[in-house]
Amino acid sequence: MTTQTYTLSKLQMFDECPQKYKLCYIDKVHIIENINNSASQKGNNLHNLINYYLKGMDVSRLISALTPQEKLLWHNFITSDVKNYKFVSSEYSFNLKLDEYWLTGRIDALFEYGGDYIILDWKTGENFLPENVKFQTSFYLLCMYEILKSKNLIKKPEELSLNYMDLTSDSIVKIKFDEDSYMQYKNLILTIINKINEGKNFFCNKTSKCKLCKYYRACPYL
């Protein structure tokens, strides 16, 4: 039996709506979306620029090519508290075995400060809300804790945290981590994986957001 690999997007989609997961990953329904390319490009530009900057590369040409709005986001980054942290890695890809399952993902950056580690995630979109990334929070903290602990870099969850840097509003949302959160996040992720593997109840979480779902017209529940 082939061991499946689970990504943040897969697990998050099932948590959001099992039927949406089924249509996407099992039925493989292909939907053509109207994507806001300008917003997506802005996010890519900033993520790439920050990544190159943190790795010590010359980014002067990239900065000069930014739009006025992108330059504002860059200014908010470059004047932030990040300069006080010790850089560890950026665009860090990971593979983690949790029980018999593999989890894979990538974080924007990892820093060290005062002996503790901080995951940094850049947000460039409008109206960022921490409650909209709760699953991302649990996935990143759980995975990076297991990885850092396996390398003997940390011993307890309290030595790791996650900061969402909202470059649009020039603010930082700090998420702390502890033993209770660790157990909660681990149980959440394993429960979702087990439900996926059962392959039974791919119900639809009917909400007011259903009409905004790209699978709205393909959903048999609506």
Task: Characterize the bridge pairing of strands 116-123 and 101-113.
Answer: antiparallel
Higher pLDDT: 94 or 209? It is: 94
pLDDT reported for residue 3: 67
pLDDT in tens, 122-160: 999 878 888 889 999 999 999 999 999 999 999 999 999
Which pTM was predicted? Answer: 0.91
Structural domains of the chain in order of their starting residue, each with its CATH number? 5-40+86-218 (3.90.320)
Average pLDDT over residues 60-84: 94
Q: How confident is the model at residue 177 (pLDDT cuts 50, 70, 90)?
A: very high
Residue 162 has pLDDT above 50, yes or no: yes
Per-residue pLDDT at 1: 47
Instruction: State the Cα–Cα distance between residues 153 and 117, nearest whole angstrom.
Output: 9
- pLDDT (mean) for 73-77: 96
Q: What is the dihedral of CA 201, 207, 212, 213, to 10 degrees?
A: -10
